[in-house]
Amino acid sequence: MSISSSRLGARFAVFCLVVAASLGTVFVSRAKAGTGASEGAPGEEGARTAARTTALSGATLGGEARGRDASTPVTLEAEGRALLAYPPSAEAAAHPMTVVYLHGIHGRAQNGCPWFRGGARELGWLVCPEAARREANGTASWGGDLAEQGAVVARATRAAEAKGASSAPGVAVGFSQGGYVALDLVKSRQARFRGLVLIAAPEAHPSAEKLRDAGVVRVALAAGSWDAAYAPLIADAKRLQREGIDARFYDLGAVGHTYAAEDPETLREAIAWAGGIRD
C-alpha cells in the first residue's frame, strides 16, 4: 500500500490559517487551564507574542523546528543503524514503555526529538527513527508502503526493548505526515500502541471502531490556531468522545503548521496523558 502523491499534496499544503471554533470539553488549553477558552486575557498579548516569536524562530521546511532542548540525546544501535533516543527519567526507569516519534515530510529526527523529550521520558524511552526514503536535501519522508514504514518503527521499538523498555504497546507521536503514518500502522496492525498523539494532521479523521480494534486506549490531537488542522482536529476529538474513545484536543497556541508550541508544557501533558500517567 503506498501513499499517493495527490493525497500527500492535499495533506501537507496546509499552513497558517486562522480558524474560529467552539472548543467544548475535549479542549485542553495551557493559556487558560480548565476554562476551555482559547483567547488570551487582554494583558497577556505581549507575552503571547514573545512566546510565538520564540516558537517560530527555528521553523524549517515542512513545519519542523530545531529542538529547544540543548541536552545531548543518546544513540542506540538499531540493527546496524544509528537511532536517536532519550532514556527514561528516574521515575519511569523501573517500568519504562516506548514512545516513538515519527517526523513530518522533509523531516529530521534531530529536529523534532528534543521537543517531545519531557513527556516521553516520564513514560520511558523516547526513540526517534528517520523514514527510509531520503530526500536530496538530506531530509527524509515517509514514502513507500506500510511494510517499509512498519519495519522502521519495529527496529526502533526493538532497540528500546534491548535497553530494558517493556514489550507492551507504548505511545506513538506523529507530526503531520508522521501522524498519518502512525494511524495507518495502527489500523493495519503493522505496529501496536496504547496511545496516539497526532499533531497537525487535519485529514487523519481516526475511526473509533478501528482504534478500539487495534487496542488504542487514548488519542491526543494537537494543532496551533494558525494551522488548517486546528478546527478539523477539534471536531475529530469531539466525535471520538461521542463514539466512546478517550480523546482530547491540545491547543499549541498561536502557531502555524509546527509542533513548536507557544508553551512546550502542552506537549509534555499530551504525551503523558496519552501514555496513561495523567488524568
Of the pLDDT bands very low, low, confident and very high (cuts 50, 70, 90), residue 28 is low
Instruction: Please state which of the ranges 10-19, 71-80, 106-115 shows the lowest mean pLDDT.
Output: 10-19
What pLDDT sits at residue 62? 59
Is the pLDDT at 102 greater than 90? The verdict is yes
Residue type, 172: A
What does the alpha-carbon distance between residue 187 and residue 110 come to, in Å, rounded to a whole number? 27
Q: What share of the chain is helix, strand, coil (3-state, %, to 5)?
A: 35, 20, 45
Residue 182, C-alpha cell as written in the block: 502512525
Is the pLDDT at 20 greater than 90? The verdict is no
What pLDDT sits at residue 273? 97
pLDDT mean over 17-36: 37
What domains are there in the chain, each with its CATH number? Answer: 17-35+47-65+72-274 (3.40.50.1820)
230 versus 46: the higher-pLDDT residue is 230
What pLDDT sits at residue 8? 41
Of the pLDDT bands very low, low, confident and very high (cuts 50, 70, 90), residue 90 is confident
Length of the chain equals 279
Instruction: Please state which of the ranges 15-24, 105-114, 127-136, 143-152 shows the lowest mean pLDDT.
Output: 15-24
What pLDDT sits at residue 47? 31
Task: Compute the half-sphere exposure of residue 39: CA atoms within 13 Å on the CB side of its CA.
Answer: 6
What pLDDT sits at residue 177? 95
- pLDDT tens for residues 174-221? 999 999 999 999 999 999 999 999 999 999 899 999 999 999 999 999
Asked if residue 187 lies in contact with residue 159, where contact means CB atoms within 8 angstroms, the answer is no
pLDDT mean over 71-78: 83
> 58: buried, middle or exposed (CB in 10 Å: 19+, 13-18, 0-12)?
middle
Asked if residue 23 lies in contact with residue 37, where contact means CB atoms within 8 angstroms, the answer is yes
> 255: buried, middle or exposed (CB in 10 Å: 19+, 13-18, 0-12)?
buried
